[in-house]
Chains A and B, each alone.
Chain A
């Protein structure tokens, strides 16, 4: 009987991406640890991030790792503008991050218009953001390094 690990090896899903990278000799020198926080999104962005776990993107090869706590993250990704109840939790997550850190805010639907005044925002994406676009931004941040 064929075992799962061999079944897995029988398919090649990884896509060959071409990115405009910084002129560093080794594109895999840096890695980026990412913590994703759902601040009240309609699940779309969460599912886009879930798609990034597909072998097609092969995120580990590019040095991108998703972690389970902001205490071990370089980058905090906030999905949608926080609901009133989530705002203090998002701010506390930022407080827990080790320095240097960056914050990436992604909004696909904005109900409330107010300024968040969050520190160290390295990227603010708006509109219908797809997995591939998020992936490219993460690569850019990973390759460029966090300057905060």
Chain B
């Protein structure tokens, strides 16, 4: 299955960043007709205009109903939403431009500031791209630790998304329990790694050293939180009121995937997985969690099952850790050569891709394909035809962050 990850426009030449199976790379823009997603990425889709009796109900950018500063232009004639256009430019901090002319270590810090919920995934994808460009060999322990922390990020992010979803569906008791568990994981991260959102842990070629014994203690504490989540999740599945709200809400289909090329749990909920963890060497027989209905309930189930799966993976990975301290003196020399590289990491809401061009040891061009960019289009599509009551839990079921999309 092919995905258009982005359009690279550098030095007057347009190329397409695409993924297909295990291939990720640039192709000529003459092949743009193969990708329906080219239209919206190029800005060629029709823009929102009032049609017939529709009026534009504008929600945001500063609204109690929304978490982030973003505008939802909802074209409606009353209760039902006919078309939705999201404007996330209010969140734009131009981080890709700010990375230019910086050394990779400075740019790494910027990559962590794109979206805190995916801070480790961004950091991981960025450092993998730099390591590939400069042929930096990293130890197995560093690789394993990165995979462990990616799974930790997945667990707390999924619990957060499910808490938002249950809050939107008026399940207040469940929500409070889940926020408590979310906060407990963040506190655990702070205690063991020094950062609640796993920032400043990863670096190019290395990672902060945590002894294996400490990681085992961390794993046990995290498991007790996941067990608590498991009880809550099982209990929530008995609430027909809750399930009725999520079932058949915000449905996406394969046609929508072809149009917008989203991935992550939104795609897994329609029975297809493009999870890049299948290419990792340290996972034994990794199988993605998939569901069939493509609605908010399926997306919630995928996330909940991934929490349990991630916990199992963390335990397996920690067993493979060895007691060696990673090299912390990585130096990137200025060889004045032009290089480019592509790397990725699996964030909780989909794969993050980094395309980086370097001149010597300075960054010349960066393109980041963040999962939320695609999910925002999926949200727009899934809201069409829904009533306002479904708005909050349809949006929250995607786990998209506007900071991640706007960059």
Contact = CB atoms under 8 A, between A and B. Distances in A.
A118 interface: no
Given A47-B116, A54-B180, A54-B182, A83 B90 contact: yes
B196 interface: yes
A51 B117 contact: no
B190 interface: yes
A13 B180 contact: yes
Contact of B90 (A68, A85, A93, A111): A85
Contact of B61 (A8, A53, A86): A86
Contacts of B179: 50-51, 53-55
Interface in B113-166: 113-117, 119, 160
A81 to B, nearest CB: 10
A39 B177 CA distance: 28
B113 A109 contact: yes
- Chain A interface size, as a band, is 35 or more
A70 to B, nearest CB: 8
A55 B231 CA distance: 18
A128 interface: yes
Which of A42, A44, A47, A128 has the most chain B CB atoms closer than 10 A to its own CB? A42
Contact of A54 (B183, B195, B197): B183
Interface in B82-134: 89-93, 95, 98, 113-117, 119
Interface string A1-26: 11011011001010000000000000
Contact of B65 (A43, A67, A68, A89): A68
B403 A37 contact: no
Contacts of A7: 173, 177, 235
A131 B183 contact: yes
A56 B180 contact: yes
Interface string A108-138: 0101000000000000000010110000000
A142 interface: no
B239 interface: yes
26 contacts: A1-B238, A4-B239, A8-B173, A8-B177, A38-B68, A38-B91, A41-B403, A42-B113, A42-B116, A43-B403, A43-B404, A47-B116, A48-B196, A50-B179, A50-B182, A54-B182, A56-B180, A56-B183, A69-B64, A70-B62, A83-B90, A83-B93, A85-B92, A93-B62, A130-B190, A131-B186
Q: 6 nearest interchain CB pairs?
A: A68-B64, A44-B116, A8-B173, A51-B183, A4-B173, A54-B183
Given A46-B67, A128-B195, 10 more contacts: A13-B180, A37-B62, A40-B91, A47-B117, A50-B160, A55-B179, A68-B64, A89-B69, A89-B90, A130-B190
Interface of A: 1-2, 4-5, 7-8, 11, 13, 35, 37-44, 46-48, 50-51, 53-56, 67-70, 83, 85-86, 89-90, 93, 109, 111, 128, 130-131
